[in-house]
Amino acid sequence: MSRANWGSRLGFILAASGSAVGLGAIWKFPYVAGKNGGGVFLLAYLACVFTVGIALLLAEMVIGRAANRSATTAFRDLKGGLWPWAGRLSVLCIFIVMAYYSVVGGWVIAYIGKSITGEALGQDTKALGAAFTHFIADPASSLFYTALFLGVTVAVVLGGVQKGIERMSKVLMPALFLLMLVLIARSLTLPGALEGVRYFLTPDFSKLTSAMVVDALGLAFFSLSLGMGIIISYGSYVEKETNLAGATLWISILATLASVLAGFMVLPAVFAFGVDPAAGPGLTFITMPAIFAQMPFGQAWAIAFFLLLLFAALTSSVSIVEPIVSYFIDEFGWKRQSAAYITTVAVFIASIPAALSFGPMAKSKLFGRTAFDLMDYATSNIMMPAGGILVAVFAGWIIWPRIHSELLSNGGGHWIPAFRGICAIVAPIMIGVIWVHNL
């Protein structure tokens, strides 16, 4: 069977970075860093990305390209036995991720609307916070916007990812970075902003806890789209000549840069406006509008910001839905269209408890967490690390000769032993220890 390929190496890097750079970097990173003490979290995060993260990113890409199939089929073709279950686990994981990702994607769409009417903007962060809390608590609008975000995602998936997303990424990703730079300039020049910069850059090691390191590792996995077979399926579309190691480096750098820039955009403003940095998921939606209100043409900036955030979220959500759809196509021979519609309806049903977690179901908790938090926690902090260990062991031990020859065919490099060491030993131990310690 002949399979689609990316149009170019750049297109592949942008599409994979598009999957990486999304709500994780811009919405999640600042509030998780804010909650975990700032600087020390940044350090832990960078350490996770540039050791285990980068190695697993490469491992997933190589597995995908070697098998030329998406996760479940790749595990079966390369090894068989129980390994395809690692692929099924990843499909389950991204299904859950999509259920709560859509809720936040819905908030972004709503905030585009609220920026157009001007309702989103304001100087008073208390009032903005109250408006945000009020908005996400409303069941009807939460469900409506969640469905809308899912609908847009599936429209893109149906319309063909490659051309649409690849082409759009080339324009909109650079636009997103540029806009962030402008907003950082505004955020940093607010009175009192330096306190936030200090918070973000000065590590306070007394805040170092195992729970924080689990958060850092989980967020690194989430931001790099790791441990869920996504990069395996993206890797399966890569040409044999493409140097995967170089692409990996680029993707990790772009994804990290986006997170760090988002930190510089949000945290200084948090301090300037006296918002609690541990305020949680609402942080971006409260501080950014306060920044816009302090800028000339603030409303236009607000619209641009939420539009680009929506785009960043879409390039990610498409990468989440696509492997679910292709799982049903590859494994059960479903038609693309029916697979896409059935997936969407199922994700929507799963997203209902997440969408209601801030309103009618705020008090329904399991393990002390709302449905939204539980979905986030179970995927980022449990399933993704588990997927990561499986990929590391698979690449570092089970099919190492195959991985090795795939890397050599791109010219190899002195880093190969280090890469194997991380996959075979460091990653499983590090993830395992952090994980067990936290449980």
Binding interface with ligand PFF (CB under 6 A): 19-20, 22-25, 94, 97, 222-223, 225, 228, 230, 316, 319-320
Tell me the C-alpha distance between 139 and 136, whole Å.
8
Tokens representing residue 196 in the block: 């936030």
Phi then psi for 366, rounded to 5 degrees? -125, 130
The DSSP output letter for 242 is S
C-alpha to C-alpha distance for 26 and 236, rounded to whole angstroms? 28
Length of the chain: 439
How far, in Å, CA of 153 to CA of 151, rounded? 5
- Name the minimum Å distance from CB 367 to ligand PFF: 22
C-alpha distances in angstroms, 75 versus 63, 94, 236, 237? 8, 17, 12, 16
- From the CB of 324, what's the least distance to ligand PFF, in Å? 10
Burial 308-323 (b: 16+ CB within 10 A, else e): bbbbbbbbbbbbbbbb
- The DSSP output letter for 339 is H
Nearer to ligand PFF, 227 or 268 (CB): 227
Closest to ligand PFF by CB, 121 vs 165, is: 165
Answer whether 149's CB lies under 8 Å from 100's CB: no
Q: How far is the CB of 135 from ligand PFF (least distance, A)?
A: 21
Q: Between residues 132 and 221, which has the closer beta carbon with respect to ligand PFF? A: 221
Nearer to ligand PFF, 319 or 438 (CB): 319
Closest CB to ligand PFF among residues 258, 352 = 258
The per-residue b/e assignment along 57-75, b for 16 or more CB within 10 angstroms, e otherwise, is: bbbbbbbbbbbbbbbbbbb
Q: How far is the CB of 266 from ligand PFF (least distance, A)?
A: 15
- Shortest Cβ distance from residue 379 to ligand PFF (Å)? 8
For residues 301 and 292, the answer to whether their CB atoms sit within 8 Å is yes
Q: How far apart are CA 314 and CA 320, in angstroms?
A: 10
The residue number with the shortest CB distance to ligand PFF is: 24
Q: How far is the CB of 24 from ligand PFF (least distance, A)?
A: 2
Nearest distance, CB of residue 241 and ligand PFF, angstroms: 26
Taking the complex as a whole, the smallest distance from the CB of residue 41 to ligand PFF amounts, in Å, to 16
CB of 30 to ligand PFF, least distance (A): 12
Minimum gap (Å) between residue 9 Cβ and ligand PFF: 21
3-class secondary-structure state, position 280? coil
CA angle 380, 384, 387 (to 5 degrees): 170
Q: How far is CA 356 from CA 130, 320, 337, in A?
A: 17, 22, 29
Query: Which residue lies nearer to ligand PFF by CB, 110 or 228?
Result: 228
Closer of 86 and 228 to ligand PFF (Cβ): 228
Provide, rounded to whole angstroms, the least separation between the CB of residue 25 and ligand PFF. Answer: 5
How far is CA 105 from each of CA 266, 358, 413, rounded to the nearest angstrom?
18, 15, 40
Name the residue nearer to ligand PFF (CB basis): 92 or 147.
Answer: 92
Between CA 234 and CA 16 the distance in angstroms is 7
Q: Which is nearer to ligand PFF, 157 or 407 (CB)?
A: 157
- CB 77, CB 67: distance < 8 Å: yes
Query: What six digits make up the tokens of 423?
Result: 């996959």
The CB-of-287 to ligand PFF minimum distance in angstroms stands at 19
CA triplet 309, 245, 235: central angle to 5 degrees?
A: 60
Cβ contact 180:265 at 8 Å: yes
Q: Which is nearer to ligand PFF, 90 or 357 (CB)?
A: 90
Taking the least distance from each CB to ligand PFF, the nearer of 17 and 125 is 17
